[in-house]
Structure 1
Amino acid sequence: MTAITVGEHWIETCDGTLFAQDWLPPSVQGTPIILLHDSLGCVALWRDFPAQLAAATGHRVIAYDRLGFGRSAPHPSVLTRGFVEAQAQQEFAAVLHHLGVDDFIVFGHSVGGGMAIACAAHFAERCRGLITESAQAFVEDLTLHGIRAADVQFAAPGQLVRLTRYHGDKAEWVLRAWVDNWLSPAFADWSLNASLAKVHCPLLCLHGDQDEFGSVAHPRRFITLARGPSVMRLLTGCGHVPHREQPDVVLAEVQRFLG
């Protein structure tokens, strides 16, 4: 792999400190790609993918832990309806400002994909491309079934340790922020329809045909409602984490999209 330089950044916000990393190929080209993690994720759980993405594309790649996750500060409260859309105006905006990023490409996985749509909508004049991976456009029975099953699994003795490795003593908050929000009656009619109508940049939707947390109805909603040129790629034999399950396919699709 091309030699990649990795940097660490600590970003102060009014609610706490964010941790971010960036990956720089030897000869940086194009617009920075900003990664937004999933509901249980963090920078560390992207594993080798950011470096692979930087090497494959030549772009600077940036990822950060949202408040409450990974190496960032604890979240000051609980998440409520609207937390997906609010990411654009809060932590994402702080990352852009601190790292001196003007135009950007945003790449989000799962709920991070929903946040990526909100960022592309809020910063429509600055977003040059949007990539969603296994993202949810609305609350679907399949999504709720997967979350309930995961909640039962994490309740078994020793299972929460899997999250503690990455989130420390914030692990219980991370789990409840995911489960309790999605299963809340107040969240039942949530959707990204309003944000999608404000997206004008090119859009790539990646979705596994075996995704246990969402059907193909989600990427179809994205490409139907977004206003810019859009393409959907359904990945055969792939579940909810394409960048881990089929990294070569994901990298090739991103290269094609950027090219």
Structure 2
Amino acid sequence: MTTIDQRDSLLPLGDHRLFTRSWAPSGPEASRLAPILLFHDSLGCIELWRSFPEKLAAATGRRVIAYDRLGFGRSDPHPERLGVGFVADEAESVVPHLCGQLGITDFVACGHSVGGAMAIETAARWPQRCQALVTIAAQTLIEDRTLAGIRVAQGDFQDAGNLARLARYHGDKTAWVLDAWIGTWLSPAFADWTLDRPLAGVRCPVLAVHGELDEYGSTRHPQRIAEGRGEALILSGIGHVPHREAEATLVAAIENLLAAV
């Protein structure tokens, strides 16, 4: 049985701090392989990955690193309202800083939902360093289904119980987190957002995973991501969170991709 060493750290990002966690398999192999960098979704944080990172580390033999984006989870509050260019900004500014702090040269980019979009931007921005790209329930443009799902969630968060459950992970930052998702995605200024440009710049092997029943995006997204670049894996009966709804299947698919990298 593989032993996994879990470590937490707070890393400086300018005047702020990012909370990170790594899962490292025992043995020398893990230090030779490029680690997997996880990008969480719009309401996410490290804790909401649940058991997925540890199981991914054990299956692939690679170090897995997750972090709470600024404003989320245990990272410091964000000093401003989220800008409409936040997806590309994460790849441009935060990723190289994070890699420098953690001593990472090459990596595998893996993200869920908007984190998948950030993983795509990262793969395109750093083609010499990104060895593979995995997207999980990622969106590549604004669909009516995306906006409809967000509006349903907006209504759900009028319930104090739902808001309290989210606050368990984000504390006093919860209102900001909700606005960073709902306010940004429903903004007219964000209506023309697409990943057409970064998708054209992706050069590494790609696995685009999507649930058949995803309420925030159709299977058009994984097909666009994988076209000419890799595999689109559509999971029957699965919704927006494959790493919880079909964890073993997802881990096996990623393991299979990375075995050839």
1:11, 1:94 within 8 Å by CA — same for their partners in 2?
Answer: no
**Which amino acid in the other structure matches residue 22 of structure 1?**
S
CA positional deviation for 1:8? 1.1
Tell me the residue number matched to 2:39: 36
The separation in 2 between residues aligned to 1:107 and 1:156, in whole angstroms, is 32
Gaps of 5+ in 1: none
* Count of aligned pairs: 256
1:164, 1:171 within 8 Å by CA — same for their partners in 2?
Answer: yes
The separation in 1 between residues aligned to 2:194 and 2:141, in whole angstroms, is 4
SS, match of residue 232 in structure 1: strand
CA positional deviation for 1:11? 1.0
Matches within 5 A, 1:53-132: 53-132=56-135
CA positional deviation for 1:15? 4.7
After TM superposition, the runs of 4+ consecutive aligned structure 1 residues lying more than 4 A away are: none
CA positional deviation for 1:90? 1.9
1:15, 1:76 within 8 Å by CA — same for their partners in 2?
Answer: no
The separation in 2 between residues aligned to 1:67 and 1:91, in whole angstroms, is 9
1:223, 1:232 within 8 Å by CA — same for their partners in 2?
Answer: yes
Q: TM-score, normalised by structure 1?
A: 0.96
Identity over aligned pairs, percent: 51
Tell me the residue number matched to 1:194: 197
SS, match of residue 205 in structure 1: strand
Tell me the residue number matched to 2:178: 175
Matches within 5 A, 1:168-247: 168-224=171-227, 229-247=229-247
**Which amino acid in the other structure matches residue 141 of structure 1?**
D
Q: RMSD between aligned alpha carbons?
A: 1.0
Quickly say closer, same or farther: Cα 1:145–1:15, change in 2 above 3 A.
farther
The separation in 1 between residues aligned to 2:204 and 2:130, in whole angstroms, is 7
Gaps of 5+ in 2: none
Tell me the residue number matched to 2:14: 14
Quickly say closer, same or farther: Cα 1:15–1:90, change in 2 above 3 A.
farther
**Which amino acid in the other structure matches residue 26 of structure 1?**
S
The separation in 1 between residues aligned to 2:4 and 2:218, in whole angstroms, is 36
CA positional deviation for 1:222? 1.2
1:39, 1:112 within 8 Å by CA — same for their partners in 2?
Answer: yes
CA positional deviation for 1:158? 2.7
**Which amino acid in the other structure matches residue 6 of structure 2?**
V
Quickly say closer, same or farther: Cα 1:230–1:31, change in 2 above 3 A.
same
Deviations 1:44-82 (A, max 9, x none): 111111100001110000000000000000001011211
Deviations 1:166-202 (A, max 9, x none): 0110011101110011000011111000111111011
**Which amino acid in the other structure matches residue 164 of structure 1?**
A
The separation in 2 between residues aligned to 1:203 and 1:257, in whole angstroms, is 8
Pair 1:153 & 2:139 matched? no
The separation in 2 between residues aligned to 1:49 and 1:90, in whole angstroms, is 26
The separation in 1 between residues aligned to 2:68 and 2:160, in whole angstroms, is 27
Q: TM-score, normalised by structure 2?
A: 0.96
CA positional deviation for 1:16? 1.1
The separation in 2 between residues aligned to 1:92 and 1:103, in whole angstroms, is 12
1:15, 1:75 within 8 Å by CA — same for their partners in 2?
Answer: no
**Which amino acid in the other structure matches residue 258 of structure 2?**
L
Quickly say closer, same or farther: Cα 1:252–1:98, change in 2 above 3 A.
same
The separation in 1 between residues aligned to 2:61 and 2:100, in whole angstroms, is 22
**Which amino acid in the other structure matches residue 147 of structure 1?**
I
